[in-house]
């Protein structure tokens, strides 16, 4: 039996389970991690069957696995299979040892199904008759799959002249129903016996094994014949006729089994049922995966028939590779993701995620994480981010611009104006001299090419799931590792209930955090500022100036404020209007004034001042 050890050079017998077996098997010999002793059950079972043990009859060896690093630590079995194997509590019950002395015993433990009412009549005597009918030809067929007569006898496999009988013995030791399966056409099957035991909850083959594996490990296999192969290898297990019946297997029934190995047939349907069961049952489940080159519908019987000698090693490899169905990624995967992200962050693509405003990029280290920009109405927040988004797209950085303020026509027109250095009125009128026409043609070509990288979205039914799909699409389409997402604006994102706007904004911020972490997206988000009690905006930008959400301070990697330094009613040329950009809070960078920006009038942009 391959035990799926994680590695052990030996066992001194100092752990509680080893001491328990050494105490009750005084004639045993412990070598490395295996204890061998005369089987204390052989005499008991022989006496029970024949009245007295026959003179000269030899007692078989009892094998106990005592590797504390193994999933099967404490599993015992008799070489002659005089009784089914199991773990310490089964050993103690079978020998009449007080359970209170057994490691892991809990006196208040309640067991599933003990209250089930069983009828007086059963199939026990018929099973003996059916077992006697098992022909030599059928036994030879089993032998081709490595299944010997001792295993067939242990599980009471029979034959009615046309069909193999797999007895579904219940937890009380009696059989009330059997599944009859054609030996050459497994799809041809039916149930025999008491109809009350044909249903899903009773369709567990070798169900008594659950109690034998208390505090230990147990296989759950698809198909009774596959379980016979596994039992021949020396592993404990139960079987369901097909993977769909895993839905009928209540997790509570396996509550006291420490580790559950799932081994299904190699197909998509069985794999899906295994995942569903593992999700429902939790961390104790480990799914055995077939190698990638395994043909569809491969199962243990086929594997055994192909190469019986190689089967133990293949099963052992699958056990070692099995991982707990954990809510956490494996440590190996977690470290791999960390290294991949670290490698990506040192790549040129990551380093080139810049807005195009040099002093801003220096102040926040480029467009990474969630960057929220607040400002008074008409301060130019949209113009600022439209310029940054268009410049990134021109440099082949994928950008998704969620616009709920301006409309895509204005965004494209203002971008074209800025690139061509032509007023929007000139572009609309088309009254241009030759040099201006050439500039417009060149700018139009640049804009058209950039739209492969810049996607403007006005969908007011936007959801976090749709946003994730958009990001996945543009990354696939542009073959880029990173995406910048612009949201104009935070307070106009769709909410289910307008009366719950505050909680809706906070909910969106939580989703943006998740998307940032899962997909590595960078965000530029426009926010409104709060007015004071006098109806005026604060003169000195601070984190508390943002409107409508206390969570901005927790979610933003960088919080910025664009403030106007000009009087909208003063007679001042637009091109002389100056805005200041402040970094008011940051996770990694010192706050303070970033730069001054002069309005690039009339071309819908800003010029960063020296």
Q: Give the burial class of 554: count Cβ atoms within 10 A of its Cβ; 0-12 exposed, 13-18 middle, 19 or more buried.
A: exposed
Integer Cα distance of 199 and 249 in angstroms? 11
Domain 348-608 has CATH 3.30.930.10: no
User: Sign of the CA dihedral 339, 345, 348, 350?
Assistant: positive
In this predicted model, what pLDDT tens digit does every residue of 5-61 receive, in sequence order?
A: 544 446 667 899 999 999 999 989 999 999 999 999 996 554 444 444 444 456 789
Residue 115 class from Cβ within 10 Å (0-12 exposed, 13-18 middle, 19+ buried)?
exposed
Cα separation, 341 vs 93, in Å, equals: 54
Q: In the predicted model, what is the mean pLDDT of the chain?
A: 90
pLDDT value of position 4: 55
For residue 463, which phi and psi values (nearest 5 degrees)?
-135, 165
Q: According to the model, what pLDDT value does residue 471 have?
A: 97
pLDDT at 6: 46
- CA–CA gap between residue 215 and residue 210 (Å, rounded): 10
- Nearest CA to 173 among 83, 235, 233, 104? 83
Residue pLDDT, tens place only, 298-334 = 999 999 999 989 999 999 999 999 988 776 777 888 8
What is the rounded distance in angstroms from the CA atom of residue 571 to the CA atom of residue 576? 11
Left if phi > 0, otherwise alpha if psi is -120 to 50, otherwise beta: which for 322?
beta
Question: In this predicted model, what pLDDT tens digit does every residue of 575-593 receive, in sequence order?
Answer: 788 999 999 999 999 999 9
The domain 16-101 having CATH identifier 3.90.580: the answer here is: yes
Strands lying side by side in the sheet with 76-78: 29-31, 34-38, 61-65, 76-78
Instruction: Quote the pLDDT of residue 55.
Output: 43
pLDDT score, position 568: 64
pLDDT in tens, 374-402: 988 889 999 999 999 999 999 999 999 99
Distance of alpha carbon 439 from alpha carbon 432, whole angstroms: 10
Name 485's bridge partners.
400, 523
H or E element, residue 424 = helix 424-429
CA–CA distance, 82 with 233 (Å, rounded to integer) = 16
Asked if the model's pLDDT at residue 562 lies above 60, the reply is yes
**How many Å apart are CA 402 and CA 384, to the nearest integer?**
15
The CA distance from 299 to 307, in Å, is 13
The per-residue DSSP string of 286-349 comes to: EE----TTPPTT--HHHHHHH-GGGHHHHHHHHHHH-EE--SS--HHHHHHHHHHHHHHHTSHH
> Can you tell me the distance from the alpha carbon of 537 to that of 515, in angstroms, rounded to the nearest whole number?
32
Sort strands 454-457 and 522-528 into parallel, antiparallel or unpaired.
unpaired
Whether 16-101 and 124-327 share one fold: the answer is: no
Classify each residue of 364-403 as buried b or exposed e, where b means 16 or more C-beta atoms within 10 Å of its C-beta: bbbbbbbbbbbbbeebbbbbbbbbbbbbbbbeebbbbbbb
Query: In the CATH scheme, what is the code of domain 124-327?
Result: 3.40.1360.10
Show me where the domains of the chain are located. Answer: 16-101, 124-327, 348-608
Over residues 122-159, the pLDDT tens digits come to 999 999 999 999 999 999 999 999 999 999 999 999 99
For β-strands 217-222 and 259-263, DSSP reports them as: parallel
Q: pLDDT category, 199, cuts 50, 70, 90?
A: confident
**Strand pairing category for 454-457 and 399-403:** parallel
What pLDDT sits at residue 53? 43
| Chain-centroid distance, C-alpha 124 | 45
Banded pLDDT at 569 (limits 50, 70, 90): low
From the CA atom positions of the chain, what is the Rg in Å? Answer: 36
What is the percent of the chain where pLDDT is above 90? 73
């Amino acid at each position: 039996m391959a035990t799926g050890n994680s590695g052990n050079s030996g066992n001194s017998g100092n752990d509680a389970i080893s001491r328990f077996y050494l105490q009750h098997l005084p004639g045993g010999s412990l070598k490395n991690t295996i204890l061998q002793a005369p089987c204390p059950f052989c005499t008991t079972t022989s006496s029970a069957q024949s009245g007295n043990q026959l003179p000269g009859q030899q007692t078989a060896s009892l094998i106990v696995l005592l590797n504390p690093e193994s999933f099967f630590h404490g599993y015992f079995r008799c070489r002659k299979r005089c009784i089914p194997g199991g773990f310490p509590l089964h050993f103690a019950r079978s020998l009449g040892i007080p359970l209170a002395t057994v490691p892991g015993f809990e006196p208040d433990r309640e067991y599933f199904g003990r209250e089930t009412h069983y009828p007086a009549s059963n199939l026990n005597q018929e099973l003996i008759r059916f077992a006697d009918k098992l022909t030599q030809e059928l036994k030879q067929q089993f032998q081709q799959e490595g299944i010997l007569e001792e295993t067939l006898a242990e599980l009471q496999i029979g034959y009615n002249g046309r069909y193999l009988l797999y007895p579904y013995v219940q937890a009380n030791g009696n059989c009330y129903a059997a599944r009859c399966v054609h030996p050459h056409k497994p799809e041809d099957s039916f149930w025999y016996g008491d109809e009350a035991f044909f249903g899903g909850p009773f369709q567990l083959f070798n169900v008594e094994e659950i109690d034998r594996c208390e505090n230990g490990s147990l296989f759950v296999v698809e198909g009774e014949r596959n379980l016979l192969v596994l039992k021949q290898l020396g592993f404990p297990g139960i079987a369901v006729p097909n993977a769909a019946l895993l839905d009928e297997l209540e997790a509570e029934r396996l509550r006291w089994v420490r580790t559950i190995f799932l081994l299904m047939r190699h197909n998509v349907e069985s794999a899906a049922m295994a995942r569903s069961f593992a999700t429902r049952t939790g961390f104790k489940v480990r799914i055995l995966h077939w190698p990638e080159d395994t043909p569809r519908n491969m199962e243990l019987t086929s594997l055994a028939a192909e190469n019986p000698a190689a089967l133990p090693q293949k099963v052992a490899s699958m056990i070692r590779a099995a991982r707990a169905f954990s809510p956490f990624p494996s440590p190996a995967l977690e470290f791999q993701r960390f290294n991949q992200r670290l490698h990506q962050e040192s790549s040129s693509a990551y380093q080139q995620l810049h807005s195009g405003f040099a002093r801003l990029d220096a102040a926040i280290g480029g467009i990474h994480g969630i960057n929220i920009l607040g400002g008074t109405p008409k301060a130019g927040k949209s113009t600022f981010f439209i310029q940054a988004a268009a410049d990134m797209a021109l440099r082949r950085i994928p950008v998704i611009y969620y616009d709920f303020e301006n409309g895509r026509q204005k965004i494209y027109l203002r971008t074209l104006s800025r690139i061509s250095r032509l007023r929007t009125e000139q572009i609309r009128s088309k009254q241009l001299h030759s040099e201006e026409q050439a500039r417009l043609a060149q700018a139009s070509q640049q804009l058209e090419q950039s739209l492969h990288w810049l996607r403007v979205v006005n969908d007011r039914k936007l959801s976090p799931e749709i946003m994730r799909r958009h990001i996945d699409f543009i990354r696939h389409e542009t073959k880029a590792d990173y995406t910048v997402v612009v949201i104009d604006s935070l307070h106009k994102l769709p909410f289910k209930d307008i009366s719950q706007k505050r909680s809706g904004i906070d909910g969106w911020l939580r989703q943006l955090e998740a998307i940032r972490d899962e997909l590595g997206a960078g965000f530029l988000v426009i926010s409104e500022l709060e007015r004071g009690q006098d109806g005026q905006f604060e003169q000195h930008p601070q984190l508390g100036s943002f409107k409508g959400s206390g969570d901005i301070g927790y979610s933003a990697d960088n919080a910025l404020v664009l403030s106007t330094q000009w009087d909208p009613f003063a007679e001042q040329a637009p091109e002389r209007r100056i805005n200041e950009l402040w970094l008011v809070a940051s996770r990694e960078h010192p706050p303070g004034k970033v730069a001054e920006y002069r309005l690039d009038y009339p071309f819908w942009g800003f010029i960063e001042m020296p």
